[in-house]
Amino acid sequence: MSEQMSARPLTFVEEARRRQIIDCTIELVSERGPGRTSLAGIAERAGISKAAVLYHFASKDAVMVATMQHVLASHAAAVGAQVDAADGPEAMLVAYLRGTVGYLREHPAQLRVLVEGLVRDRDGDRELAPGSPAHASRWQGVARILELGQEVGVFRPFDARALALVIGGALDGVVAEWVGDRSLDLDAAAAELEMAVLLAVRAGGAQP
């Protein structure tokens, strides 16, 4: 049935049910991790049958893919608006850093979805690493900012993709530590990260 649904526009009720399933998946992944999040658990959390979940999604992997896409789109919309309002590559990079920390502070349940790949290998033995294609949209946006800064001469030469991945990993690490230990001063950690990133990218070793 889910394949037939993909060939036609979804009704309001179907959209609402899919969103409910995705929201429940986010909650369970945050609590248990992706490996221990099952279709049965998602159905129980949503108050529906497993068959009802499979009506909307062909498999657990399909639920996980839709969940990742939802979280990435939500993150991109929230942070992208701040980046678009910034003036110049450096301000855009700062807006990305601050916007991401702020977004994940407000949506801690989505952090684990972003940090961990949720689609499992075909053998089912392990989850894909955060560098999987599901995460590509995260580093690509940062890489574009870095490349723009290089083009206008405010950022030094470097591998934009590599540094974008480093920045993403550092952001995830800071916020993940805060989620696990709220005694961490997230604002101070974010400020230190911002300083480190600006020192890393600026041309001529200029101080922030």
The pLDDT tens digits of the residues spanning 125-175 come to 434 444 444 456 678 899 999 999 999 999 999 999 999 999 988 988 888
| Distance, CA of 184 to CA of 178 (rounded, Å) | 6
- Cα 207-96-159 angle, rounded to 5 deg: 65
Q: Give the count of beta carbons closer than 10 Å to the beta carbon of residue 166.
A: 16
Q: Mean pLDDT for each consecutive 10-residue tract of the chain (208 residues)?
A: 62 92 95 90 96 93 90 89 95 95 87 66 42 61 96 96 93 84 93 96 71
User: Would you state the pLDDT for residue 180?
Assistant: 81
User: Would you state the pLDDT for residue 131?
Assistant: 44
Which architecture does CATH list for 2-205? Orthogonal Bundle (1.10)
Tally the residues of the chain: 208
DSSP tag of 198: H
Beta bridge partners of 127: 120
Contacts for 147 with CB less than 8 Å, ≥ 6 apart: 160
Domain limits, the chain: 2-205
Q: Give the count of beta carbons closer than 10 Å to the beta carbon of residue 140.
A: 12
Structure tokens at 34: 């992706």
Task: Please give the full DSSP string across 135-164, using - where no structure is assigned.
Answer: GHHHHHHHHHHHHHHHHTTSB-S--HHHHH
| Distance, CA of 38 to CA of 83 (rounded, Å) | 36
User: Would you state the pLDDT for residue 122?
Assistant: 43
User: Would you state the pLDDT for residue 132?
Assistant: 46
pTM: 0.75
DSSP tag of 127: B
| Distance, CA of 176 to CA of 196 (rounded, Å) | 18
Phi and psi at residue 125, in whole multiples of 5°?
-90, -20
User: Would you state the pLDDT for residue 75?
Assistant: 87
Sign of CA dihedral 25, 71, 142, 128: positive
User: Would you state the pLDDT for residue 168?
Assistant: 87
User: Would you state the pLDDT for residue 117?
Assistant: 59
